[in-house]
Amino acid sequence: MIAYIEPYFLDNESDASSVLTVTGRSSDGVSESLNIQGEIICGASAADIAGKDFGGMNCVKPLAVVRPVGPEDIAAAVRAALSSDKLTVAARGNGHSINGQATAEGGLVVDMRSTAENHFEVGFLTGDGTAFVDVSGGALWETVLKRCVSEYGLAPRSWTDYLGLTVGGTLSNAGVSGQAFRYGPQTENVTELDVVTGNGDVVTCSEVENSELFFSVLGGLGQFGIITRARVLLQPAPDMVRWIRIVYAEFDEFTRDAEWLVSQKDDSSFDYVEGFVFVNGDDPVNGWPTVPLHPDHDFDPTRLPKSSGSVLYCLELALHYRDSDSNSSVDKRVERLIGRLRFDEELRFEVDLPYLDFLLRVKRSEELAKVNGTWETPHPWLNLFVSKRDIGEFDQKVFKELVKNGVGGPMLVYPLLRSRWDDRTSVVLPEGEIFYIVALLRFVPPGAKASSVDKLVAQNQEIVQWCVKNGIDFKLYLPHYKSREEWIRHFGNRWSRFVDRKAMFDPMAILSPGQKVFNRAL
């Protein structure tokens, strides 16, 4: 099927300058028809599909949503934009950004989910024989997991907590979870990509082939190319996981144990290390009840030291094992590691569960949030990387003061190792070997007033401003800035490299306009 952008007239006549017509000629100078095999959706339906994201705080009107069948359609969309005066193109993965990063006001949104099934092939790297899977940039990680495990007994090594995200969407940022201390973020676990650049070229790239493009695109905020295929490294999938939570009253004891665990040599630590802050009280959303892993578990606050403050800390750990491993051998491996840690035995919670259930654990929270309405309400989230040097000061100000009553959702904090991140990618990090990811995952009750969401956004800004003023060594993760100055500060001494890469791979600034890093060149 050959589809064309149909005559489409925006509600607001003053926007009519960006109208594409059947012939592809438009008053904004588009000279080529968008001649693709996939589908093109215009008007209110396009806004319904791609006008909003998970953050729910921005609403834009795209000109059209393009549902490509493959890279040639995507390249055609980019070329149509190149030949126009002002069209832009945003790849949209699963639209789970917070601040409109996957949107394109008046532009073309490429719905990558229509390409989800384009690739699925397992192979082995020449050399060390490591298994990999070729998957579509538009595939959901959840689907990749299920197919790899059920068809091959294999699984990717590095994850995000939630798997309803696309491969291309997380690779454009980093993709971080409790495995990243060992394997690095997801961007460290791909060896080859197919990319449609902002020049409209379809290019295969890797560490050795078109390497500048490969490293630009990884963590590149969608600025350099649209990932249509990724080669993802695999490992044998375990059958089971022992999932453990232990509680700390003191931040320095929590960080000392967490840092010790992530600094152990490969295979001599847990397979997953994360942590979170929670309120020292019985609030069902922010407090003690959020810690136990099973309805039979009971959080006994009388076990807490008298000196406990307004917030407490929880280390979350997981150990992989096989069905054939005896209980006692699993217990032994756990005790060898956990025996070194300082926490109260009575505030230890653990369950054994199948590997898939563990990796899909956030899906259960999604289902609950959908029932109670908080999945659809705005999500003014804040994600940062904070250096080990400054995480104590950050705890004092932010956790113990600004958000001491909770954020209506998880407040994650756990250490990562910089040496696991290749500095040739476009991601920027704080200095020092150990830094912390901090995630304030705010959920807002249905019916909350817009002004209360504004207050949460303002609190996020206050935190960022406090970090800047106090010289905290930090970077926003999933960054969102509005001014050029802020982006320059974000990238620091990597800004000129980012600009050079843009000039090479998307000189007209067609791609991912919703990130607001560059303006479309005329």
Q: From residue 98, how far is each of 288, 289, 453, 470 by CA, in Å? A: 28, 27, 13, 26
Question: How near is the Cβ of 16 to ligand FAD at its closest, in Å?
Answer: 26
Residue nearest to ligand FAD (CB): 168
Q: Which stretch binds ligand FAD (CB under 6 A): 10-18, 328-336, 392-400, 510-518?
A: 510-518
**Binding segment (CB under 6 A) for ligand FAD, from list 25-33, 89-97, 124-132, 258-266:** 89-97
Among 46, 233, 453, 478, the residue binding ligand FAD under the rule CB under 6 A is 478
Q: Least distance from C-beta 174 to ligand FAD, angstroms?
A: 6
Q: Which long-range contacts (CB under 8 A, 24 or more apart) does 24-28 make?
A: 24/80, 26/84, 28/84, 28/85, 28/86, 28/87
Nearest by Cα to 66 from 45, 97, 96: 45
Active site residues: 96, 161, 274
Q: In 3-state terms, what secondary structure has residue 481?
A: coil
Q: Is 75 one of the binding residues for ligand FAD (CB under 6 A)?
A: no
End-to-end alpha carbon distance in the chain: 32
Q: Which of residues 212-271 bind ligand FAD (CB under 6 A)?
A: 221-222, 226-227
Under 8 Å CB-to-CB from 361, ≥6 apart: which residues?
161
Q: CB of residue 130 vs ligand FAD: minimum separation in angstroms?
A: 23
Q: How far is CA 451 from the centre of its chain?
A: 27
Nearer to ligand FAD, 174 or 314 (CB): 174
Kindly tell me which of 159 and 349 has the beta carbon lying closer to ligand FAD.
159
The crossing angle, in degrees rounded to 10, of helices 495-505 and 484-491 is 110
Q: Residue 512, interface with ligand FAD (CB under 6 A)?
A: yes
Using DSSP's 3-state secondary structure scheme, residue 98 falls into: coil
Can you spell out the DSSP letters for 130-164?
-EEEEEETT-BHHHHHHHHHHHHSEEES---S---
The pattern of x and - marking residues 162 through 191 that bind ligand FAD according to CB under 6 A reads x--xx-xxx-xxxxxx--------------
Which of 26, 97, 118, 210: binder of ligand FAD (CB under 6 A)?
Answer: 97
Helices (H) and strands (E) in the chain, counts: 14, 18
Residue number with CB closer to ligand FAD (36 or 112): 112
Beta 348-354 vs 434-440: how paired, if at all? unpaired
CB 182 within 8 A of CB 435: no
Give least dist CB 218 to ligand FAD, A. 10
Shortest distance (Å) from residue 261 CB to ligand FAD:
18
CB of 345 to ligand FAD, least distance (A): 29
Contact 379, 442 (CB under 8 A): yes
Q: Which residue of 5, 42, 54, 508 would you call a contact of ligand FAD, by CB under 6 A?
A: 54
Q: Build a one-symbol-per-residue string for 118-157: x at contacts with ligand FAD by CB under 6 A, - elsewhere.
A: -------------------x--------------------
Euclidean distance between CA atoms 317 and 172, whole angstroms:
27
Residue number with CB closer to ligand FAD (97 or 269) = 97
What is the closest distance, in whole angstroms, from the C-beta atom of residue 457 to ligand FAD in the complex? 16
For residues 492 and 429, the answer to whether their CB atoms sit within 8 Å is no
DSSP code at position 410: -
Encoded amino acid at 53, one letter? D
How far are the Cα atoms of 82, 205, 504 from residue 508, in angstroms, in the given order?
Answer: 7, 21, 10
Look at the chain and count its residues: 522
Stretch in the footprint of ligand FAD (CB under 6 A) among 143-151, 160-168, 273-281, 311-319: 160-168
Binding-site size, ligand FAD (CB under 6 A)? 36
User: Strands 202-206 and 382-387: what pairing?
Assistant: unpaired
Question: Which residue's CB is nearer to ligand FAD, number 106 or number 514?
Answer: 514
Q: Is 464 in the site for ligand FAD (CB under 6 A)?
A: no
Structural contact between residues 223 and 213, judged by C-beta atoms closer than 8 angstroms: no
Q: Looking at beta carbons only, is 56 or 289 nearer to ligand FAD?
A: 56
Of the pair 312, 517, the CB lying nearest ligand FAD is at 517
Q: For ligand FAD, which is the closer residue by CB, 178 or 343?
A: 178
CA distance 315 to 247: 6
Biggest alpha carbon–alpha carbon distance for the chain: 75
Q: CB of 281: closest distance to ligand FAD in angstroms?
A: 25
| Position among 26, 425, 460, 515 found at the interface with ligand FAD (CB under 6 A) | 515
User: Residue 93 or residue 200: which is nearer to ligand FAD going by CB?
Assistant: 93
Q: How far is the CB of 508 from ligand FAD (least distance, A)?
A: 16
* Residue from the set 93, 107, 378, 479 that interacts with ligand FAD by CB under 6 A: 93
Binding site for ligand FAD (CB under 6 A): 53-54, 90-97, 101-102, 112, 137, 160-162, 165-166, 168-170, 172-177, 221-222, 226-227, 478, 512, 514-515
